[in-house]
Amino acid sequence: MVQDPKQKARRLARALISDLVVYHPEKRQQGMRDGTLPLLFKEEIEKSWQEYVEQVGADLAKSTTFWTEALNEILAGGAKAF
């Protein structure tokens, strides 16, 4: 079955960001409380972004909002932190 590249990109973005939440719950809680999520997760986000770009391609990664949507919906709990 051929998978739509955009669906794959959206799912991958959500999976990578979900992993950050699972592996760093205390850090996430602190960042949400203090409003410092982007700063606290800078390294993890950069590393995950690189993985995302490698898997979906730079053009698709940069031309869609899937990554930012996943950051805001999942890591920031629906807030517009990114």
- CA proximity to 41, closest of 65, 76, 77, 3: 76
- Between CA 63 and CA 60 the distance in angstroms is 5
What predicted TM-score, i.e. pTM, was given to this entire model? 0.93
pLDDT tens digits for range 11-55: 999 999 999 999 999 999 999 999 999 999 999 999 999 999 999
pLDDT tens column, 41-53: 999 999 999 999 9
Q: Residues 18, 74: contact at Cβ < 8 Å?
A: yes
User: Residue 2: which pLDDT band, with cuts at 50, 70 and 90?
Assistant: low
Bigger pLDDT: 2 vs 23: 23
Handedness of CA 68, 82, 37, 74 (dihedral sign): negative
Per the listing, tokens 């999942």 go with: 74
**Domain range list for the chain:** 5-75
